[in-house]
Structures are given as structure tokens and as C-alpha cells.
Structure 1
């Protein structure tokens, strides 16, 4: 028969084993909690990164608006070689330009005149002065009169003066310099928005061809947007042929002097490397003046 001392030793060892098991279980719980927290943190970080990537393009301009009513009698198709479609004047071109309020203006400015605007002269000459050199622009009033009306109004009010060109892209399929946001963040606008014109108005809105990339040739000036009918003040200058869906209004072209200036800016690359970001060499618009 075990003695009292032996019973006490047996009970002590049993208690020690119980305590060891409890400690081991507690360690496992702590490890599981740490691992779970780490996984959750990774998922949260991943979600944040995804949000930044997804939201970056859509926040580069103004807020979205309603899709415009088609103005052509049938769907247009891009040329077989992927070029922009040939211009066909839609009914009522320039007859009712509207600029509804949208968000807060990044720089105080009056909205352009509304209603009918002239489509003549067919081209409007503009001088864009920057700290990197001058760019001569020829605005296409015959194809995009509502857009030219807005751009000319902003230029005459000094909206673009002393503002940065905040974005440069240097990929083989997208080579543009984007300007027109006084905040330099890619989210600013004039406090109003307006509908797309050429080439978007050459298509029925439900036409799948609207989603297919076409060639925006070197020397093109086009409006940036955040979706249909969200044009504001931001625009981009194409310095190498670029592939884009035909949802960006083309409203002019750049002269050879301007292209030489753009080539110099592009050659310096993107700040910090990469193919999309602020220009490595700061680009500041001094003024945009109608000739």
C-alpha cells in the first residue's frame, strides 16, 4: 500500500502534467491568434492595395455622369486596321452644349456659355507655354465644338495658368502627358462636366466596338474622363501612338514644336521609375492663350 508521501508525490506529478498540458494548449491558442491576425492583416493590406489600384484610374478626373443618348442612326465600326472611325457629323453637332455642375471647382471659374455654339472656324489655334518649352495646339472645332468651347473658356479665364501636368505614361501602348488639374493630384476639375464628342458620338452606346482599343495617333489632344459624359478640365497629349477605347473625346492636334517638347519631357521619364506617374522633370503650364 502506498504511503502518504508516495500519494502526495503522485498527486504532485499529476498536477504538474495537467499544468504542462494547459500551458501547451495556451501556447497553441496564442500562436493561432498571432497567425490569424497576420493573415487578416495581409488580407486587409491586399484589399487596400487593390482599392488603390482600382480607384486610381477612376479618380484621375471628375465624377461620373449619365451616358449620352446616341446621335447616330446606326452603330459605327472602327476601321479594320484599328484606326479611329472616320468623322461623320452627328445630327445637332454643337446645337445644345450643356455643362451641368459637378463637384467643387479646383480653381474658381465660370462655366462656359451653353446652348448652340459655332462650329466655325473649323480650327482654333492655341499657344501652350510651359517651363519645358512651348506647344502649339490646333483645336478641332468642327468635330468637337462643345469641348473646344469649354477649353477656350477655361483658357481665357486663366484656369490653366500656373498648373502642373501631373501624369506621364511611357508604356508602348500608352504614351501621354496629362494636364489640366490645378491640384496636381489627378482628381480636380472645373466644377462642371459635359458630354463626350468625337469619336464616342460615332457609336451606339451599346455597341461592343466602344470597348475595343483603337489607335490615338501621335499628336492627338484628347479629354481625360472617369466614364461617359464626365469631361471637365483634364486633357492628355499623345506623343506616341497609343491604344485606347474610343471613349475619349479627340479635340485637336499638336504641332511639331510641341511634339519636340513632349519628346524631351518623355525622355526624362517618370519620377521614381516605372511607366505611369508624375514626370521626372516637373512640367508646369505657364499659360494657354488663343492666337
Structure 2
């Protein structure tokens, strides 16, 4: 069963909610900022909507401020198999990176088990479900972004979802370039800067049932996730 079929067969119960919780920063112009603190061309503000669900482990709803969300950060995932560090693509996927940072700071991922590894066709490690089954959500969901031309080469960190268009806490990390074409429907939100060797070792151990798609043979537990935000300067006003 391939990556896409398995993902769509997971079930996430979504409560019917009349009011979407929307965090919007309006009337504000902000600049995308690099790690060095240099400002880039000013962009229009982004509005992110996080909608409540009946998630098994709700931790609240993220707020969203365009300037704060634009600040670059690195995330360090300390696992029992080694440490993986990635750079968040805050300029390309602000809704996803804002959500990930929110959950990490809440300790949502601490103690969770990565529930899936694939070793044929596509090469990914799936994590982000505290129940370790690939079906839970954090009590909210948000829409896709950054899909135009999205690809999933080695080092890509992307949202993994059980229902199309409903992203929550789950994500996958590609540890090698895929052999099988992957359609651009999974929001890429970060790039691995160190720890690919850790991912490859995890995959090299195989799965519990010996298949090419299943739970890692040796349990992968996320001990902690630390977000380190870069120090940047506030955007400068444009003068006419």
C-alpha cells in the first residue's frame, strides 16, 4: 500500500464547528528576513486559519502574527536514535512553521513515537502523533500551502495528513530522494541541516514486520524538540 493510499485511509474525526478560529494580522507590511538579519522585499501579510477539531490531545489553538511568524528558526529533534536538526521555511510556509513551533513549545511532541518508515519507492520517516498510530491531531487543523512545484528530495520536512487539506501535527522527513513520483500535495515546511545519517540508520534497521512500509523495527522516540529563533531586526518603513 503506497504512501498516498495509507495517508488517505487514516481517519481523523473532525467536529463540526460553526466558527473558525482565525488569527490574522491585517494592515501590516512585513519583510522576510534571512538568518543574517538582512531584510528582503516586503510582502503582503499572510492570514492563517486554525480550525478546531475533537483531537485526542488538544493543546489550544495557535495565534498568528505575520512579523513573528516570518522570523527564521531551527528546530532540534532529540530522539533516542540521535539528533535531527532542520531549518524552518518560515517565508514559504508560515502557517505550518508557526504551528510546528507552537506545538514544540507546548511539549506536544515530547515522548511521542515515530510511527512509520518506508524503505522502497519513497524514503520517509513519519512522526508527530503522540499516540504513535498516525491518526491523531492536536485539536486543530489548517490548510495546505507552499505546494506550487513542491518536491520531496532528501532532507525535505513536510506535513503528513490523514485527510486532504487538513494538516495538524504529523510530519514526515525524507531521508533519500524518492524513486516513485510524489504529487505536490504535502506542504514542505523545512529542510534538514544535520541528522540525515540518523534517519538513514533508522531506515536501515527496517520495519517491525519486515515489510517496506511499517513501524520502525527499533522504536524511534522524540525526547524533545527545541526551537531556536534567529535574532532579526524589525522591518524598515518604506519612504515614498
Q: TM-score, normalised by structure 1?
A: 0.63
Once residues 225 and 80 of structure 2 are traced to their aligned partners in structure 1, the CA distance between those partners, rounded to angstroms, is: 12
**Matched-pair contact (CA < 8 Å) for 2:109–2:225:** yes
1:272 is displaced (CA, Å) by 1.4
> Of the two, which has the highest radius of gyration?
1
Query: Which residue among 55, 63, 69 is the counterpart of 1:113?
Result: 63
- Residues 114-133 of structure 1: CA deviation (Å, up to 9, x unaligned): 46454532x31111000000
Give unmatched runs, 5+ long, in structure 1: 1-49, 66-88, 204-213
**Matched-pair contact (CA < 8 Å) for 1:168–1:279:** yes
1:62 is displaced (CA, Å) by 3.9
1:57 is displaced (CA, Å) by 2.7
Match of 2:47 in 1: 96
Give unmatched runs, 5+ long, in structure 2: 16-40, 229-240
**Matched-pair contact (CA < 8 Å) for 2:69–2:97:** no
Query: Which residue among 199, 211, 224 is the counterpart of 1:262?
Result: 199
Once residues 63 and 120 of structure 1 are traced to their aligned partners in structure 2, the CA distance between those partners, rounded to angstroms, is: 31
Counterpart check, 1:222 vs 2:171:
no
Distance 1:54 1:220, change over 3 A: closer
**Matched-pair contact (CA < 8 Å) for 2:76–2:84:** yes
More helix, by proportion = 1
Once residues 140 and 117 of structure 2 are traced to their aligned partners in structure 1, the CA distance between those partners, rounded to angstroms, is: 25
**Matched-pair contact (CA < 8 Å) for 1:169–1:176:** yes
More strand, by proportion = 2
Over aligned residues, Cα RMSD in angstroms? 2.6
Distance 1:148 1:215, change over 3 A: closer
Match of 2:172 in 1: 236
Q: TM-score, normalised by structure 2?
A: 0.75
1:237 is displaced (CA, Å) by 0.4
Match of 1:282 in 2: 219
- Residues 211-268 of structure 1: CA deviation (Å, up to 9, x unaligned): xxx7411000000013432000000000011231101000011123x10100110100
Distance 1:192 1:133, change over 3 A: same
Counterpart check, 1:163 vs 2:101:
no
